[in-house]
Structure 1
């Protein structure tokens, strides 16, 4: 159930989005036709441009509803995900606006104006929503715009959820109490928490007497027979219901539900890149980025190639087998940075800080990550991606999959030249277990914007790392 204040906030977002779009329109008009006078608006007046901006604003609000940009659960989402939705909404809207202009034969409408208009909308809407989100977090942390929660169960799982709510006051959730059939009060270690206010059979009475926005079920598996009653009561009272699965300790990620006929199937890991549109978008970006990178760094690669040939014997490019997507092996390319060695040594020995196998120039290449430039050809071939978990040699993969839980999950996506673990300092001789945590987070939370963030952080942090050797 969404109370009046939630509906009011959604209406505020509707109005603010529309106003932000018109502000973006005025900025675009001023920049395009007045400030720099860089374009001819043809036979179209300001009023006609404004009319289509109003049409766009109304249409984009409807699109925002369909893409759940106004969901009451958005308070739980990160701003990165919200930005991703904002971009999708206005990309769809601007394409539809162009279609409208074509259908109604508004042929003199400036195409450069549309492009600048789209950019300004993204900037203005994102900025105001970011500021509004900060403002809402500020007031929620101080007790305003609360959503009241009733927790069913008072065991370890329920207590863990309670502390998560308390640790994130900016979300604006408040627990009004617990219901449990076997406890009347919390154990000594948990005294001071919100009280146990009744048994599960009291749910109907409590929902009628008190304001409850959400019911969260945190019961063990053996209480399964209680679920049907809880669902019926919550639906009867129009209260939103959430269930923390009793198998949550087994589920290593957000579960994803698929349907086979009328039978729901729960997969334990939702991977955004399994969706065709996401995989196509990422692959197109990889191809374009790698082409630009190869062309842009070709003179540098030529210089590196000459120096390698002049300073040491052996092949220019070092090829080594790595394990990629779906556990398929591939040959990864690098500029050779070590003296010639046996394949057994290169495939089974870990590189150390003062490794005697490195050449002097090779040590520089590894420290600056310039030895990895040929991997853009791996990206172009489709063996790798610009962003993703770093690939490992088969010898170490066999070891790590036995020693480190969930290690093999990283092979659900293409390996990358850079990754979320690497931009957080986990390169070289660092914890493999921590790397996997970051890799899995990336796999489960992938967005195109997330990839851009990692690429930007790669350049901001610099390619030189104390752990790269």
Structure 2
């Protein structure tokens, strides 16, 4: 899981690099276009030369608009199987759409006249410079990033069902490394793919343990649906992506997405909106500024609570505990201490309970209003948590739940949160874990910045009755 998280971080880093390169190319395109239009002697300037400062604010808006348009064309999503010419076409289309908006804007905005020829020169320079920037970065990606982010792939099927994958093997080598094959029939030879035979689908759980793949691809749909479902659930438990080879016209289901690798169609469970780098930037920005604002506003109150906790009972002011967040990563969560020191020395790990006898007097009050959770703003600031997301659980309990609750580990595809969709709907400690997981998964699969804002506002009205 940690290896998968590191690969995800590398892809996010490269997407950030692409965005930074695009911003640099946009501002360079303006500067070059300005020099060509007004200082090259190729164009007349009967009205004189305007200051380049007049274009700084408009080009900033153009940059933001262009990045948004490019994001809709998946130009910030790393795809090792995509050809550069496809990226070039998407860049050309994105710049074209953006500049058409700019031209339309100049007709409605009359307070200051902007050179139409400058706009067209900028149009050409944007296409050239962004394409050149992307070409250089694509070399960096192939040489430096791709070898470290290649996926470990396990193929499931019978020999004849793997012929389709064999015909696309060249692209799979760029996409990932096939570390093994799993048979759906009682044979272990005659497979067209040169890879280690890991066993059959009957010992699928052991296969996942041994191969430790990032992705499983099923090429044989003749096996029972119940078995397919059990393999999907087992894969999700271990945070392994599960994909199915299918004809594009065989399956068109809303809960699934089609991924194309050189004409080979793979069906995958729909990704969270937070898998897109733009959405992650947006959420992280809201988390960072929200945490800074919260700590600035609440710092006097935090100081008062710290003093009261210290005076109320012996022991530290803050309580830290290991919890699990995105990708199965373990971190230390911080809270104001609400229990007696060494409260779990005799009982071991147990869930918090209503009217818990281990709580101190001030601890009961803090818990009833969720005030003990406020130090988690530091966790948000550090990037371990988000303001909104599934509440983090202790590794001890995660190990229990992932075997008993279907899709439990899928809630760890995003960062844990201070509050969540389950909590604002009244699902806290004491309510069935299964119900909370359903709400968590709904949040993961339907995230939007407006959804986060809604949950934050609802959380302010749901402070009472926690424990």
TM-score scaled by structure 2? 0.48
Q: Greater relative contact order: 1 or 2 (C-alpha under 8 angstroms, separation 6 or more)?
A: 2
TM-score scaled by structure 1? 0.48
